[in-house]
Amino acid sequence: MLFAQVFGDKHLFGTGFLLLAVFVFLFLLKKSKTDLKKQERFYLYLFTVLFLVIESLRLIFLLIRDGGLAIYQLPLNLCSVPLYLYPAISLDKRNGRLKQWLMPAAFATVMLAGLIALLIPSNILGPELFWLPIDKNYVEIASFTFHAVMIAAPLALIKLDFYKPKMSDIGYALAFTAGFAAVAMTVNALTNQDFLLLNYGNGSPFQFLITESKLLYQATMIGLGAFLITMFFVIANLKKVKKPISSQIKK
């Protein structure tokens, strides 16, 4: 039986189409000139609802297709983090402290997971070779759409100035991600699952390292993730570094 391949027609069409949709959405997105707080609440609630609804639909489609839900469907993969982060941030109306702690991960960790999933969708492509017939791709359509929203949401928060990444926020993002990884690895040890791909590495391009040492594989995955999260903040702050230099030249 043939299966859809990474960098095959199904992958390239699906990822290309959704990245184009994210680009168009961000291009059309405009910052409010009157009530920025109200706009912020609206989009935080919107992304929260989208994450929860799309994930619920995916699980319903899985339940209908497979007749049940396996334990590996628990929300303990890196792509599950927006299910916790965005509702928590949206509901933090008192002093904003929780929002301050979680927003860095809602930016970097969420976008990293979304990008990885759409660029290397080895675990979400499904068996069908292409997106037609649609009725055999409901699970995959929901999964791809969910990850596209994971890219759109952090970029929208930045474009609308709801969040401005600072280098000092790296620690918050890494701390949340490390804590989430610790929970996932504990559950892996107790249930023999592969959450965060940190046990068997199914779908990971670094799975071959497990034959040498599982500890080496886990250290590589965690270290690479920490590096990429850090790089998101570095890239986001490049413009801030350039502005003072250009202004000095003008003077």
| Full DSSP string of 8-60 | SHHHHHHHHHHHHHHHHHHHH----SS-HHHHHHHHHHHHHHHHHHHHHHHHH
Q: Tell me: the pLDDT tens digits for 166-176?
A: 999 999 999 99
Q: Classify burial at 142, counting beta carbons within 10 Å of its beta carbon; exposed 0-12, middle 13-18, buried 19 or more.
A: buried
Residue 137 and residue 6 in contact, taking contact as beta carbons nearer than 8 Å: no
Question: So what's the pLDDT on residue 248?
Answer: 47
Per-residue pLDDT at 96: 75
Task: Find out whether 120 and 6 touch, Cβ atoms under 8 Å.
Answer: yes
| Exposure class string for 181-216: b at 16+ Cβ within 10 A, else e | beebbebbeeeebbbbbbbebebbeeeebbeeeeee
Cβ burial of 10 (10 Å; 0-12, 13-18, 19+) is buried
Residue 111 scores a pLDDT above 80: yes
Q: In the numeric block, which tokens belong to residue 216?
A: 């080496």
Enter the pTM of the model. Answer: 0.92
Q: Which region holds residue 132: left if phi is over 0, alpha if psi is between -120 and 50, else beta?
A: beta
pLDDT (average), residues 229-234: 97
**Residue ranges per domain, the chain?**
9-250
**4 or 64: which leads in pLDDT:** 64
C-alpha 127 chain-centroid distance:
23
Cα separation of 136 and 127, whole Å? Answer: 9
C-beta separation of 193 from 72 below 8 A? yes
Tokens of 74: 């628990």
What is the model's pLDDT at position 92? Answer: 79
Phi, psi (deg, nearest 5) at residue 15? -65, -45
Q: What's residue 97's pLDDT? A: 84
Amino acid at 242: K
Above pLDDT 90, what percent of the chain? 85
pLDDT tens digits, residue range 17-64?
A: 999 999 999 999 999 888 888 999 999 999 999 999 999 999 999 999
Rounded (10°) angle between helices 97-119 and 82-91: 150
Contact 49, 55 (CB under 8 A): no
Residue 64 near residue 142, CB atoms below 8 Å: no
